[in-house]
Amino acid sequence: MKKILLTGVSGQVGHALQQQLALELADEWQVVACDRQQLDLTQPEHIRRVVRDIAPDLIINPAAYTAVDKAESERELADAINATAAGVLAEEAARLKIGLIHFSTDYVYDGTKNGVYTEDDAVNPLSVYGASKLAGEEAIRRVGLPHLILRTSWVYGSYGKNFLKTIIRLAQARENLRIVADQYGAPTADIAIARAVTELVTRWHPEDAAQTGVYHLVNRGETSWCGFASEIVAQYRALETLRGWPALAVKEIAPIATAEYPTPAKRPANSRLTTAKLEQTFGVTLPEWSIALNQVMAELVVSVAD
Ligand SMILES: NC(=O)c1ccc[n+]([C@@H]2O[C@H](COP(=O)([O-])OP(=O)(O)OC[C@H]3O[C@@H](n4cnc5c(N)ncnc54)[C@H](OP(=O)(O)O)[C@@H]3O)[C@@H](O)[C@H]2O)c1
């Protein structure tokens, strides 16, 4: 039985991946799932020891420092987890002659492009978080091992803290919501990522150097945060009676400009990423974002306290 070392299993993507890999690939792959206690990414020597002890055949690293605004004042910690640790995992994978699947972000772009981003477009992160994720990509490329760097965006799911949960909580409590409507991208469901990555595990041939590189991995289509919030409320209302969910108080979702909702970290206005490279190289496609939202809603447990 081959072994996958999976990091960040208490996070959205790590959690979804742990479940999906067990569901789909348990006959072939044993998943050694590590949380922060088992694998502390701020400790390079600890990382090296754990990887050598487990001796995996593949490393998948969804763990990251993801507090985008807090990162503005915690640059060292963000760099340690998102850049240094990614490089150490890559070095250890290279030592074992295995591949690394790593996650990156739309926040490596500055969002000024007129149109959809391809993987070859110039990067120019606007935030400490984006810069730390880009530094992680570069650290992996420097090691030169077989790798897939998967840039995803606007991740949410039924597990963990995210925009979906926040909107449901706010819509239960307030009649009026004001949501940013001038940033565009694709909300991407954790389960959609997990299904796609599980397919990649079976379709990727690390020995084929042409497959190594950066890929966009996002749900299809695009919307704004305001459009996403409106769709969450619409889908919630379509299900609330059937599921016995508490009724929402919200009456109006007003679009606002980014300038009206200042945050410590700047975000790209345009996060539209094409997934053509992923589709052409591996035949992996992700559903439209609103369909993926529907699938997440089907699993959602809602309480008044959510
Ligand atoms: N969330 C998004 O909207 C988004 C958008 C674009 C790209 N991405 C990228 O997608 C990937 C997955 O994101 P996600 O949404 O699943 O993140 P998440 O839910 O915030 O989970 C992050 C995971 O990293 C772990 N972690 C943090 N610091 C660690 C440390 N020092 N040692 C070991 N583990 C540590 C966390 O553990 P604890 O639970 O112990 O903190 C958690 O399991 C990341 O690479 C992220 O940068 C995310």
223 lines ligand 1 (CB under 6 A): no
- Residue 157: alpha-carbon gap to chain centroid: 10
For residue 301, the model assigns a pLDDT of 81
Whether residue 148 is contained in a domain is answered as yes
Tally: H helices and E strands in the chain: 10, 12
Whether residue 210 is contained in a domain is answered as yes
Longest dimension (CA), the chain: 57
Per-residue pLDDT of the chain (306 residues; tens, 9 = 90+): 999 999 999 999 999 999 999 999 999 999 999 999 999 999 999 999 999 999 999 999 999 999 999 999 999 999 999 999 999 999 999 999 999 999 999 999 999 999 999 999 999 999 999 999 999 999 999 999 999 999 999 999 999 899 999 999 999 999 999 999 999 999 999 999 999 999 999 999 999 999 999 999 999 999 999 999 999 999 999 999 999 999 999 999 999 999 999 999 999 999 999 999 999 999 999 999 999 999 999 988 876 544
DSSP class of residue 300 equals -
Instruction: Kindly provide the residue ranges of all beta strands, DSSP E only, lying in 51-141, ordered along the sequence.
Output: 58-61, 99-105
Which atom belonging to ligand 1 lies closest to the Cα atom of 36? 33
129 lines ligand 1 (CB under 6 A): no
Question: What tokens appear for 20 in the block?
Answer: 């999906």
Whether residue 292 is contained in a domain is answered as no
Give the number of domains in the chain: 1
Whether residue 241 is contained in a domain is answered as no
The length of the chain in residues reads: 306
Cross-strand partners of 100:
59, 147
Whether residue 266 is contained in a domain is answered as no
Residue type, 224: S
Q: Quote the pTM value.
A: 0.96
* 247-to-93, 169, 171 alpha-carbon distances in Å: 50, 11, 9
Q: If you take atom 39 of ligand 1, which residue's CA is the nearest one?
A: 10
Whether residue 247 is contained in a domain is answered as no
Rounded to a whole number of angstroms, the distance between the first and last alpha carbons of the chain is 40
89 lines ligand 1 (CB under 6 A): no
8 A C-beta contact, residue 270 and residue 153 = no
For residue 304, the model assigns a pLDDT of 55
Whether residue 164 is contained in a domain is answered as no
- Burial class of residue 114 (count of CB atoms within 10 Å of its CB; 0-12, 13-18, 19+): exposed
The b-or-e profile of 201-230 (16+ CB within 10 A means b, else e) is: beebebeeeebbebbbbbbbbbbbbbbbbb
Q: Cα of 172 to ligand 1 centre, how many Å?
A: 27
CATH of the domain at 48: 3.40.50.720
Residue of 6, 7, 13 to mutate, ligand 1, most atoms within 8 A of C-beta: 13
Q: Which residue of the set 109, 117, 129, 159 is catalytic?
A: 129
For residue 49, the model assigns a pLDDT of 97
- Report how far residue 118's alpha carbon sits from residue 122's, in angstroms, rounded to the nearest whole number: 9
46 lines ligand 1 (CB under 6 A): no
Question: What tokens appear for 100 in the block?
Answer: 């690394």
Q: Cα of 195 to ligand 1 centre, how many Å?
A: 18
User: What is the domain range of residue 31?
Assistant: 2-157+188-219+271-287
- Catalytic residue status for 215: no
267 lines ligand 1 (CB under 6 A): no
Whether residue 73 is contained in a domain is answered as yes
Q: If you take atom 1 of ligand 1, which residue's CA is the nearest one?
A: 155
- Report how far residue 111's alpha carbon sits from residue 108's, in angstroms, rounded to the nearest whole number: 9
